[in-house]
Amino acid sequence: MVLKSKGVNLPSRLWEKLALLAGITPEDRWAKLSRESANRLVQVLTATTLHVTGKSMNKEEFVTCGGIPLNEIDSKTMQSRVVPNLYFAGEALDIDGITGGYNFQAAWTTGWIAGQSMAST
Ligand SMILES: Cc1cc2nc3c(=O)[nH]c(=O)nc-3n(C[C@H](O)[C@H](O)[C@H](O)COP(=O)(O)OP(=O)(O)OC[C@H]3O[C@@H](n4cnc5c(N)ncnc54)[C@H](O)[C@@H]3O)c2cc1C
């Protein structure tokens, strides 16, 4: 089944939506997919424009994931181990917590440490 076995590395629900948008039905099989259907699928996968209409229902849009890897930072000073005299704090770092104050606390604590360290050098 085309809908159940993804042809590309996409989240399953997104894959299903896009395949349906391309006219693929739940009964369609890869082996019997017509050239026309395959081309429509390629078109949908490569040229679909999505418009953002709102925020996630899960209210997950609080913090940015990723950032400066923590193993590149001296946590006692927040100074970069890669570039001397460069300091990082808060969301610039690869830290993200669930909501509830953890991200504020991370920003305040790392900011305070970085500030103290910069002032004392
Ligand atoms: C809607 C929302 C709700 C949240 N609720 C919570 C919560 O309940 N609890 C919690 O722990 N965390 C919460 N967070 C996350 C928390 O706010 C952040 O993790 C925290 O504020 C990060 O602090 P920061 O100083 O690293 O970055 P920021 O607070 O983003 O500060 C970065 C600052 O840099 C400025 N800036 C950016 N680019 C430049 C530039 N080129 N030159 C000069 N200035 C620049 C920006 O204008 C900004 O003022 C929430 C976030 C959002 C968006």
pLDDT digits (tens, 9 = 90+) for 26-42: 888 888 889 999 999 99
Question: Best substitution site from 60, 62, 95 to test ligand 1's pocket, by max atoms within 8 Å of Cβ?
Answer: 62
Residues pairing with 74 in the sheet? 79
Across the chain, what does the average pLDDT equal? 89
14 pLDDT tier (thresholds 50, 70, 90) = confident
40 Cα to the center of ligand 1, angstroms: 42
pLDDT at 60: 65
Distance CA 89, CA 30 (A): 49
What would the pLDDT profile of 29-85 be if each residue is shown by its tens digit? 888 889 999 999 999 999 999 898 877 766 667 788 889 999 999 999 999 999 999
β-strand pairing of 79-80 with 73-74:
antiparallel
Q: How far is CA 79 from CA 1, 22, 23, 102, 109, in A?
A: 53, 51, 54, 21, 14
- Ligand 1 neighbours (beta carbon < 6 A): 62-63, 90-91, 99-104, 107
